[in-house]
A = this chain, B = another copy of it.
Amino acid sequence: MAGYGDPHTVRSFDEELTHLNEMIARMGGLAETQLADALQSILDGDEAKAKRVVEDDHQIDVVHTDVEEFAIRMLALRQPMADDLRAIIQSLKAAATLERIGDNAASCAKRVHVLHESPAVPPLKSAVRMGWLVLDMLKQSVDAYLRRDVERAIAVRNRDSEVDDFYSSLFRELLTYMMEDTRNITPCTHLLFIAKNLERIGDQATNLAEMTYYLVTGKTLKTDRPKNDTSSFTIVEPKHFDG
């Protein structure tokens, strides 16, 4: 059996780690594309594009399963210690996070049909703008993960409060439109869920940034995470529209 320091074993294990990272990179790229296409389909009312996003979600799931199988094989055959073990476990967590980001992007796209059938409402554009903010955060966090870039990971995490602020204000805006005209209720409800999916993608991108921090430093970045989402406490009174 090849021992510690054997150049063949070392190279081959590094190659495997690189392959694992490449699969995560592929998942990240797919998740970004899915989110970008979901946002574009919402903006354009493009049902065909939205349908493709929903159908393509399984591509991320397939790579996720590959990551899991490959990582488990590495654990079994390589029996890695310390840093290598941590890298493999974090890959499993990163892959699971990207898979859920893909799910959230697909959930947004699923609502394009209803939005397209409903009256147009101005907050649709606000929701898409929130989505672009989240997409940018996602790109940064995937990048930070793949390059093991701690500075960038911290920057991503600090931007999550921007997304939360946007979400809280959009939540209030949507409720106001619903109260103004009952015909807005259906499209605004679906936009509320889209906004929630986007807010969750922001959280998941932040989780990925926290994983990067842990991977590089061995320390957690969990405490004092800025949280500005106040939507759970939002009351909008309808009285302004009754009189």
Q: Which residues of A line the B interface, CB within 8 A?
A: 68, 72, 75-76, 79, 81-82, 85-86, 89, 92-93, 96, 107, 110-111, 113-114, 117-118, 175, 178-179, 182-183, 185-186, 189-190, 192-193, 196, 232-238, 241-242
Contacts and interface: CB of A to CB of B under 8 A. Distances in A.
Given A76-B85, A186-B238, A192-B193, 7 more contacts: A117-B235, A179-B185, A182-B238, A186-B236, A189-B189, A189-B192, A193-B196
Given A182-B238, A185-B178, A238-B182, A232 B111 contact: yes
Nearest to A88: B75
A242 B182 contact: yes
Query: What's the dominant secondary structure at chain A's contact region?
Result: helix
B72 A85 contact: yes
Contacts of A232: 107, 110-111, 114, 190, 193
Contacts of A82: 76
Contact of A178 (B85, B178, B237): B178
Nearest to A242: B182
Given A76-B81, A196-B196, A236 B185 contact: yes
B241 A182 contact: yes
A238 B107 contact: no
A242 B181 CA distance: 11
- Which residue, A75, A111, A241, has most C-beta atoms of chain B within 10 A? A75
B183 A238 contact: yes
- Which residue, A79, A86, A182, A234, has most C-beta atoms of chain B within 10 A? A182
